[in-house]
Amino acid sequence: MSAAKRQRSCACCGKAFTDNERTEVEPLIDGMIRYVAVHPGHSTHPPPRRRPAEPPPGTAEAA
């Protein structure tokens, strides 16, 4: 049984999957490795954090 058929809804947005809808599978690690189905482009993982650029070494801003 596929993750989409078992879940019946997207792990990210909660919207129900339609028949023959294409889905993606993501690992979910919570003590065990499980796989959850999500709509294409959705993710249960947070977006990567952007850090400010560091000044090059040897410049006045680096000191």
The domain limits of the chain are 1-37
CA 8 to chain CA mean position, Å: 18
Confidence band of 2 (pLDDT split at 50, 70, 90):
confident
Question: From CA 12, how far away is CA 36, in angstroms rounded?
Answer: 9
Question: From CA 22, how far away is CA 40, in angstroms rounded?
Answer: 7
pLDDT tens-digit map of 11-44: 989 999 988 888 998 988 888 888 899 999 898 8
pTM for this prediction: 0.62
**What is residue 51's predicted lDDT score, i.e. its pLDDT?**
79
**What is residue 16's predicted lDDT score, i.e. its pLDDT?**
93
